[in-house]
């Protein structure tokens, strides 16, 4: 491949990354909670039943905010079921995932777990089968200090101090026919605005995310965002986006190009948000909460095709085993998020453990890192700071990305540069380059012209690369795919030179 050129100027920036950009998601789904973060019988479990081996990996992954309790699950959830003495908690049918929910683990346990993991809790309220009244009561239970029945109930349950949860999601994927009590945009806009008003009357310090449509390929996309914001604009800070990249078609170049469609999706949502602002003559800007994103396709089923007889507790569902190719597409998604740091102010990798997750566990056994663990951990550790506006001169390729919805086969054309890159300057002047070589067979000679940087020492250079794009990490071979040193990175004057292996994710740190 010919040389690929990048130009970076210190201080020419897209925006600063919000700490909440590096979040993840714990849903009552499969073995994410039970057998994932919580397994009282596990040899490493503490007195509260939290697996310490999982906690150690979560700290290494470094998610900054954690969404809970769903997802589709939240649209049938009674928050009251998950608080108070465990022996009294009801068992319920979970219609989202065809399972039995024991409610052994609930909101207070989740808050405790977040404190131990060093992550901020993000809670979703049920705007499916419940509504504004349950939402404001849930908030009062969590955040009101004392002196009301609900706040004193929390204290009686053993949590004296208010939880102080700041970030709340107004339901989940409310346009999806698979959602319990899905709604039209008008219906959702109305319930969301009334819920938002009441919640902010309970606690004006909170921030709220309204549901965007549940994917760019939804027939509702676009008009949904506009209608919802026409109702909620003055009452919410964020609108949500969800994307799961896929390789159903077995077309790896198209799969690796698909994060560019995430860029388009973000830019389209920003345009819609800002056009509503313009109509309202408002200087306010609605920020984006990309509160579900990942690669997911092998274990994905339409609702009609899901069978799970017997309403099991914590069945092993959605346990996607990620490959090297998945880690590359995933890395591309990380770059998309970083490069929109001016408007994407929160994002959640869906999900955290076992369920389409960077961390896998065996019940009673070990925990290990999937391939996607590494790009996320590197982004969270080194992506904090000012994202620079990179000028990139790279050869490109054309692809058709297959992203079906229900019975419909949808194809999206995309022209992708072989190099996808984000550059983040930290507060000490250090610089990190996240670089994806999407060429499957050719190494990429890359030069980066650095203007205005004072500290240009190479601190570290790592590549995630494996000759077999189908390679995975498993219980018995947990280290098959892991970052290794990227050799041959050099700096001469203001020019950095590196050769990126074919089909590789690379992190080069200067400072």
What are the residue numbers of the active site?
A: 173, 292
Smallest distance from ligand AHR to CB 53, Å: 23
By rule CB under 6 A, what count of residues binds ligand AHR? 9
Tell me the CA end-to-end span of the chain in Å, nearest whole number.
29
- Residue 292 lies near ligand AHR (rule: CB under 6 A): yes
Q: Does 126 bind ligand AHR (CB under 6 A)?
A: no
| Nearest C-alpha neighbor of 247 from the set 371, 360, 404 | 404
Q: How far is the CB of 128 from ligand AHR (least distance, A)?
A: 11
CB of 230 to ligand AHR, least distance (A): 24
Q: Is the dihedral of CA 339, 340, 344, 348 positive or negative?
A: negative
Cα–Cα distances in angstroms (integers) from residue 127 to residues 46, 164, 169, 183, in the given order:
34, 21, 10, 9
Tell me whether residue 177 or residue 364 sits nearer to ligand AHR (CB atom). Answer: 177
Token pair listed for 76: 């049938």
Q: Which of 109, 140, 173, 326 binds ligand AHR (CB under 6 A)?
A: 173
Q: Of 72, 220, 361, 370, which one interacts with ligand AHR (CB under 6 A)?
A: 72
Taking a C-beta distance cutoff of 8 angstroms, is the pair 65, 348 a contact?
Answer: yes
d(CA 439, CA 397): 9
Both tokens assigned to 490: 């050099």
Sketch the per residue contact string, 443 through 472, with ligand AHR: x for CB under 6 A, - otherwise.
------------------------------
> Least distance to ligand AHR from the beta carbon of 63, Å?
15
Q: Which is nearer to ligand AHR, 351 or 378 (CB)?
A: 351
Contact flag: residue 140 with ligand AHR (CB under 6 A): no
DSSP string spanning 7-67? Answer: EEETT-EEEEPPGGGGEEE--SSTTSTBTTTB-TTSTTB-TT-BBHHHHHHHHHH--SEEE
CA separation for the pair 208, 238 (Å, rounded): 6
Q: CB under 8 Å to 153, separation ≥6 — which residues?
A: 83, 84, 141
Q: How far is the CB of 9 from ligand AHR (least distance, A)?
A: 39
Contact call for residue 172 and ligand AHR (CB under 6 A): yes
Of the pair 194, 292, the CB lying nearest ligand AHR is at 292
Burial class (CB in 10 A: 0-12, 13-18, 19+), 360: buried
DSSP 8-state symbol, 483: -
Q: Which lies closer to ligand AHR via its Cβ, residue 315 or residue 501?
A: 315
Q: Which is nearer to ligand AHR, 72 or 504 (CB)?
A: 72
Nearer to ligand AHR, 125 or 276 (CB): 125
Whichever of 173 and 194 has its CB closer to ligand AHR, that residue is: 173
Q: Does 425 bind ligand AHR (CB under 6 A)?
A: no
Give 387's DSSP letter: E
Beta bridge partners of 510: 431, 458
Is 71 an interacting residue with respect to ligand AHR (CB under 6 A)?
A: yes
- Residue number closest to ligand AHR, CB atom: 71
> Shortest approach of ligand AHR to residue 315 CB, angstroms?
14
Closest CA to 235 of 175, 264, 276: 276
Determine how many CB atoms are found less than 10 A away from the CB of residue 240: 28
* SS3 state at 411: strand
| Token pair in block for residue 374 | 């590494």
- Closest to ligand AHR by CB, 26 vs 139, is 26
Q: Is 338 in the site for ligand AHR (CB under 6 A)?
A: no
Kindly identify the residues of this chain, within the stretch 31-70, that bind ligand AHR according to CB under 6 A: 70
For residue 422, what are the CA distances in angstroms to 204, 217, 282? 36, 26, 31
User: Smallest distance from the beta carbon of 489 to ligand AHR, in angstroms?
Assistant: 37
Among residues 27, 109, 175, 237, which is the contact residue for ligand AHR, using CB under 6 A?
Answer: 27
Q: How far is the CB of 261 from ligand AHR (least distance, A)?
A: 18
Helix and strand element counts for the chain (H, E): 10, 26
Q: Of 351 and 371, which has the nearer Cβ to ligand AHR?
A: 351
- Owner of token pair 């806009």: 189
* Pair of tokens at residue 92: 């319920």
Report the C-alpha gap between 53 and 59 in whole angstroms: 10
Query: Could you tell me the two tokens for 409?
Result: 């086969």
Site string for ligand AHR, 341-380 (x = CB under 6 A): ---------xx-----------------------------
19 burial class (0-12, 13-18, 19+ CB within 10 angstroms)?
middle
For residue 322, the minimal CB distance to ligand AHR (Å) is: 15
* Footprint on this chain of ligand AHR (rule: CB under 6 A): 27, 70-72, 172-173, 292, 350-351
């Amino acid at each position: 491949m010919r040389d690929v050129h990048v130009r970076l100027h210190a201080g020419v920036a897209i925006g600063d990354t919000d700490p909440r950009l590096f979040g993840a998601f714990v849903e009552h789904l499969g073995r994410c909670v039970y057998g994932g973060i919580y397994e009282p019988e596990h040899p490493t479990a503490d007195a509260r039943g939290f697996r310490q081996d999982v906690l150690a990996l979560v700290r290494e992954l470094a998610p900054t905010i954690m969404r809970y309790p769903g997802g589709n699950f939240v649209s049938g959830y009674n928050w009251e079921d998950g608080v108070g003495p465990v022996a009294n908690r009801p068992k319920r049918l979970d219609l989202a995932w065809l399972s039995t929910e024991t409610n052994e683990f609930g909101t207070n346990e989740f808050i405790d777990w977040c404190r131990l993991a060093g992550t901020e809790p993000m809670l979703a309220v049920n705007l499916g089968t419940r509504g504004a009244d349950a939402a404001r009561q849930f908030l009062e239970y969590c955040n009101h200090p004392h002196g009301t029945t609900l706040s004193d109930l929390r204290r009686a349950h053993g949590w004296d101090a208010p939880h102080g949860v700041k970030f709340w999601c107004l339901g989940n994927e409310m346009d999806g026919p698979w959602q319990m009590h899905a709604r039209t945009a008008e219906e959702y806009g109305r319930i969301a605005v009334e819920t938002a008003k009441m919640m902010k009357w309970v606690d004006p310090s909170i921030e709220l995310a309204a549901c965007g449509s549940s994917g760019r390929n939804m027939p509702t996309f676009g008009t949904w965002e506009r209608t919802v914001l026409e109702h909620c604009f003055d009452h919410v800070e964020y609108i949500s986006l969800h994307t799961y990249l896929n390789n159903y078609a077995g077309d790896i170049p198209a799969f690796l190009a698909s994060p560019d469609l995430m860029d388009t999706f973000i830019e389209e949502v920003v345009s819609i948000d800002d056009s509503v602002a313009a109509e309202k003559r408002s200087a306010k800007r609605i920020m984006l909460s990309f509160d579900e994103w990942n690669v997911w396709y092998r274990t994905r089923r339409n609702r009609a095709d899901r069978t799970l007889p017997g309403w099991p507790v914590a069945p092993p569902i959605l346990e996607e085993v990620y490959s090297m190719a998945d880690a590359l597409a995933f890395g591309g998604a990380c770059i998309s998020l970083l490069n929109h740091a001016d408007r994407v102010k929160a994002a959640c990798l869906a999900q955290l453990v076992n369920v389409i997750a960077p961390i896998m566990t065996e019940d009673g056994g070990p925990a290990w890192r999937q391939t996607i663990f590494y790009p996320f951990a590197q982004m969270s550790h080194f992506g904090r700071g000012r994202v620079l506006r990179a000028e990139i001169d790279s050869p490109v390729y054309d692809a058709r990305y297959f992203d079906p919805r229900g019975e419909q086969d949808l194809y999206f054309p995309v022209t992708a540069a072989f190099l996808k890159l984000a550059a983040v300057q930290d507060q000490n002047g250090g610089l990190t380059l996240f670089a994806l070589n999407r060429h499957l067979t050719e190494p990429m000679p890359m030069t980066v012209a650095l203007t205005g940087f004072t500290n240009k020492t190479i601190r570290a250079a790592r590549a995630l690369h494996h000759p077999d794009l189908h390679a995975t990490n498993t219980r018995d071979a947990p280290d098959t795919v892991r970052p290794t040193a990227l050799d041959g990175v050099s700096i001469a004057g203001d020019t950095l030179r590196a050769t990126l292996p074919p089909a590789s994710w690379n992190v080069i740190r200067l400072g």
